[in-house]
Amino acid sequence: MKKTTLLRNMILERKALVCPGAHDAISAKLIEQAGFRALQVSGFGLSATYLGLPDMAFIGFSDVVHFTKNIVEAVKVPVMADADTGYGNSINAMYVTREFINAGAAGMNIEDQVFPKRCGHLEGKQIIPLEEMVLKIKACKAVKDEIDPDFVLNARTDAIAVAGIEEAIRRANAYAEAGADLIFVEAPRSVEQIEQAVKEIRAPVSINLMDAVSGGKTPLVSIDRLREIGVGRVSIPVGPLFAAVKGMTDYLDAIKGDRIAEGRTELVAPFADFKNLVGFEMFRELEREYLPRFVE
């Protein structure tokens, strides 16, 4: 089964498919290794790890599609891409859709913020007119219908922070009618708003959780509860990245001042585990088969 079809079917179950955010190929491999059935490329994570900058549209599309392709090729599970605002108008968004499909992504998020956008849990957001976003979704749908109709188009609305939950639902239904397969309601402020969104939006709903990270706009709700409500997808976009930052900080604290972390095995992954993660032995086997002077 195609990854696009697999992802679409899992979302249509409305059983809160959990998609942790990957910021590089290693984090994607770890997400897959942990047993998750799909993952989300974190635009926040790409901007932070490759540029050291916040999620405020500093990273360009060619870099994003390149990094996304690396992530897609590193794992077997479906990967959703982050298209931000489509990197321009509807015509730009058509090109973006085609490139993500060609990169092997199973779906993509596209949002109704004004460019340059910012993380959904940051202040200062603005949204484009509803008509403009509807036409952008129709344009993206025309491309995916031509190449792979099962490619999941996830339309995100940031309207709650700007105009309230009623406007977010109005936009969500317009986006679904325009051809969005999934509606990403960003930053609901309560469980009641999540329930209202799922009840009133005529498409599967995606919710974004900041998980253990303090400072997010959405209240922490258990996956079981979101499954009961009927949420289609749950993204946890920055948890893996923030965990990696905490791990590196702890290790560097242990060795600063010209010390070594002797015996501090809890701070690092075993070398053997890391070699397994990156497929070292597979390449050694290829060397045995195809190199004239293999060295054991």
> Is 78 domain-assigned?
yes
Question: Which ranges of the chain would DSSP assign to H, the alpha helix?
Answer: 3-12, 25-33, 43-51, 61-74, 90-102, 130-147, 159-163, 165-178, 191-200, 223-229, 239-255, 271-277, 280-290
On whether residue 293 sits in a domain, the answer given is no
Q: How far is CA 284 from CA 61, 92, 185, 274, 294, in A?
A: 35, 43, 46, 15, 9
Residue 260 lies in a domain: no
Kindly state whether residue 265 falls inside one of the protein's structural domains.
Answer: no
How many domains does one find in the chain?
1
Q: Are 41 and 241 in contact (CB under 8 A)?
A: no
- pLDDT given at position 167: 97
Is the bond leading into 116 cis (omega within 30 degrees of zero)? yes
Residue 192 resides in a domain: yes
What local confidence, expressed as pLDDT, does residue 42 receive? 96
Predicted TM-score of the model (pTM): 0.94
Nearest residue to 77 (alpha-carbon basis) of 142, 135, 19: 19
pLDDT, averaged across the chain:
94
The verdict on residue 241 lying in a domain is yes
Q: Write the CATH number for 134.
A: 3.20.20.60
Would 162 be classed as within a structural domain? yes
Which of 187, 231, 239 minimizes the C-alpha distance to 213?
A: 239
Which residue range forms the structural domain that includes residue 145?
3-245
Q: Is 101 among the domain residues?
A: yes
pLDDT, tens digit, 9 for 90 and up, residues 137-182: 999 999 999 999 999 999 999 999 889 999 999 999 999 999 999 9
**pLDDT 10s digits, 199-222:** 999 999 999 997 656 556 678 899
- Look at residue 125 in the predicted model and tell me its pLDDT: 73
Tens of pLDDT, residue by residue over 237-275, are: 999 999 999 999 999 999 999 999 999 999 999 999 999
What's the pLDDT tens digit per position in 111-147?
A: 999 977 655 455 657 899 999 999 999 999 999 999 9
